[in-house]
């Protein structure tokens, strides 16, 4: 698996670099720099608005939210995104880090994993609706464009996949995973997973409150709609403005491709190719949309690195604190 992920990352990075060189490094660089610090500030502000909505969506799933829940979940969601965007060497690493961070703040492991699974499921479901909206706009504006119909077919397949994942959660997928180490005789090596027993029950309990789940879904959908503002603002500051509807179509197409190619670390090359395909539908040159892609990746670094630095500074302090509380552990 590690070799496959490494090869996928290398191929993706090589493809992205080839696209930039093929369409002109200088032209792409000029397009990227044309946004200036104002463009970076604008898309970062849009990102943090969507981040707040995602944190509120996560909070909605808790029957008994932890102390300072909104502030805690905003921090954990920020860390989750930053890890996924910058350290995505394996799929779902952001979610794994988030679960651990919640347990550090006294959320039981079973509940932390359960609300994260349900939150991720509803986020993917809301992204499908967001992408369907983008495809509907594209088909309505350009009924003769074959791309929209192909995307609609792909979304139908993705919908079946999400539905299957939800059914699997109800049918005992995580109950099976809870008992897998014991079935394989790995109880000693995987002993820490004994604390995770109860994830299946916690997931079922979360789904028994449809109002909370639907609130989570609605807030995630609002966050997706807000996220289209990154594309709109980026292109506006680059001097190539598009309508809000067109920005929504571009954003939905690119993120649909990123999600479909989740096994490729950092969506390397996938994002760049997606921007070229989506941008061409609205008369945007490859140089402009590649510049936009670089701007988005730069935003991920600018907004992501601070949370990772804080996290890494906290870890040694936590280790020292735990050793002081349990001196016999030394």
- For 166-202, the pLDDT digits (tens) are 887 777 666 655 544 444 444 444 344 444 447 888 8
Domain count, the chain: 1
In a domain, 319, yes or no: no
Average pLDDT rounded to a whole number, residues 130-137: 90
Range of the domain at 163: 2-307
Q: Which of 77, 107, 109, 110 is nearest to 94 (CA)?
A: 77
What is the spatial distance between Cα 317 and Cα 320, in angstroms, rounded to a whole number?
Answer: 5
Residues 91-120: pLDDT tens digits?
Answer: 678 888 999 899 888 888 888 988 999 999
User: Is the pLDDT confidence value at 25 over 60?
Assistant: yes
Residue 65 DSSP class: P
Average pLDDT, the chain: 82
Decide if 325 is inside a domain: no
- Identify whether 250 is part of a domain: yes
- Phi and psi, residue 108, nearest 5°: -55, 145
Note whether 254 and 224 are within 8 A (CB).
no
Number of CB atoms found within 10 A of residue 192's CB: 9
What does the alpha-carbon distance between residue 131 and residue 308 come to, in Å, rounded to a whole number?
30
The string of pLDDT tens digits covering residues 200-218 is: 888 888 899 999 999 999 9
Measured distance CA(77)–CA(61) in Å, rounded? 14
Residue 318 lies in a domain: no
Residue 66 has pLDDT above 90, yes or no: no
Alpha helices in the chain (DSSP H): 2-23, 25-33, 36-59, 69-86, 93-104, 109-141, 146-171, 173-184, 199-207, 210-237, 244-260, 270-280, 286-325
Is residue 317 domain-resident? no
Residue 328 placed within a domain = no
* Residue 47: Cβ within 10 Å count: 23
Looking at the domain assignment, is residue 52 inside a domain? Answer: yes
What is the percent of the chain with per-residue pLDDT over 70, rounded to a whole number? 81
Phi, psi angles (nearest 5°) of residue 187: -60, -30
pTM of the entire structure?
A: 0.85
**Residues contacting 172, CB < 8 A, separation 6+:** 200
Instruction: Classify residue 128 as left (phi > 0), alpha (psi -120 to 50) or beta.
Output: alpha
Closest residue by Cα to residue 309 from 92, 6, 41, 87: 87
Query: Is 313 within the bounds of a domain?
Result: no
The listed range with the strongest mean pLDDT (21-25, 161-165, 286-290) is: 286-290
**In the prediction, which pLDDT does 80 show?**
94
């Amino acid at each position: 698996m590690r070799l496959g992920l490494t090869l996928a990352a290398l191929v993706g990075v090589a493809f992205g670099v080839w696209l930039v060189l093929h369409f002109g490094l200088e032209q792409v660089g000029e397009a990227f720099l044309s946004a200036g610090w104002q463009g970076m500030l604008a898309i970062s502000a849009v990102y943090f608005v969507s981040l707040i909505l995602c944190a509120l969506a996560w909070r909605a799933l808790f029957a008994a939210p932890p102390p300072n829940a909104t502030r805690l979940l905003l921090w954990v969601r920020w860390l989750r995104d930053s890890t996924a965007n910058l350290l995505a060497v394996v799929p779902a690493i952001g979610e794994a880090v988030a679960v651990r961070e919640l347990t550090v703040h006294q959320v039981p492991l079973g509940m932390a994993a359960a609300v994260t699974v349900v939150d991720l499921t509803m986020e993917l479901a809301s992204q499908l609706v967001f992408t369907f909206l983008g495809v509907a706009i594209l088909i309505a504006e350009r009924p003769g464009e074959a791309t929209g119909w192909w995307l609609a077919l792909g979304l139908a397949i993705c919908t079946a996949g999400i539905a299957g994942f939800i059914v699997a959660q109800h049918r005992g997928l995580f109950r099976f995973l809870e008992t897998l180490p014991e079935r394989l005789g790995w109880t000693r090596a995987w002993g820490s997973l004994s604390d995770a027993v109860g994830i299946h029950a916690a997931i079922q309990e979360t789904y028994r409150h449809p109002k909370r789940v639907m609130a989570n879904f609605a807030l995630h959908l609002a966050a997706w709609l807000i996220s289209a503002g990154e594309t709109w603002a980026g292109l506006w500051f680059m001097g190539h403005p598009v309508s809000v509807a067109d920005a929504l179509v571009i954003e939905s197409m690119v993120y649909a491709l990123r999600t479909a190619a989740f096994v490729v670390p950092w969506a390397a090359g996938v994002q760049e190719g997606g921007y070229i395909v989506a941008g061409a539908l609205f008369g945007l040159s490859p140089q402009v949309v590649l510049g936009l892609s670089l701007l988005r990746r730069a935003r991920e670094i600018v907004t992501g690195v601070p949370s990772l630095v804080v996290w890494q500074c906290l870890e040694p302090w936590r280790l020292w604190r735990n050793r002081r509380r349990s001196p016999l552990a030394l």
